[in-house]
Amino acid sequence: MQTPGEEALVERARRGDPDAFEALVLAYQSLAFRTAFLIAGDATDAEEAAQDGFVKAHRALRRFRSGEPFRPWLLTIVANEARNRRRTRGRRAALALRATPVPHAPGEDPEEAALATERRQQLLTAVEGLGDDDRDVLACRYFLELSEAETAAALGIAHGTVKSRTHRALARLQEELQ
């Protein structure tokens, strides 16, 4: 969904206002980098993909349809850049859990916390064991919390494919974890 303020920013950026485009970059640089990182699996590739994505988006702004949501449109470009880099590299580094665990809440059982960490690692390993198509759709839907429509745009696939691929990937995960 596009907020009225953002729609105005996009319009100003389309007309060549550099301040408006800067505001859009500032608003979306974190999401663009995170999206690229979750697809490419490498910080340098992700930085380049996000940067190239913004530059290409700027070039394509005139073709952007007024009133359309900007976020999925941008993510389409960034995700495509990230996938290209992953393809060029021929492999993707596996995601990892943060080395420094989140501090336990007061009263939280350390043993339960350790079990939760173990379970997360097990789940992450299972996600990383999926094929790129399944993994990408889960990353978009659950790690980036994109809607089905945004996921479809980012990955360049049909809305129905997002649904079926998500269903398939979750079933595979469930099977792997049992």
Q: Which residues bind other proteins (CB under 8 A)?
A: 16, 18, 21-22, 25-26, 29-30, 32-34, 37-38, 43, 47, 50-51, 54-55, 58-59, 95-99, 102, 117, 119-120, 123-124, 127, 138, 141-145, 170, 173-174, 177
Least distance from other proteins to the Cβ atom of residue 149, Å: 17
Identify which of 30, 44, 134 has the alpha carbon closest to the alpha carbon of residue 82: 44
Residue 17, classed as helix, strand or coil, is: coil
The one-letter amino acid at 70: F
Residue 109, classed as helix, strand or coil, is: coil
Which pair of tokens denotes residue 11? 């319009």
Least distance from other proteins to the Cβ atom of residue 107, Å: 19
Residue among 60 and 158 whose Cβ is closer to other proteins: 60
Least distance from other proteins to the Cβ atom of residue 148, Å: 13
Residue among 41 and 67 whose Cβ is closer to other proteins: 41
User: Rounded CA gap, 110 and 128, in Å?
Assistant: 27
- Say how far residue 123 (Cα) sits from the centre of its chain: 18
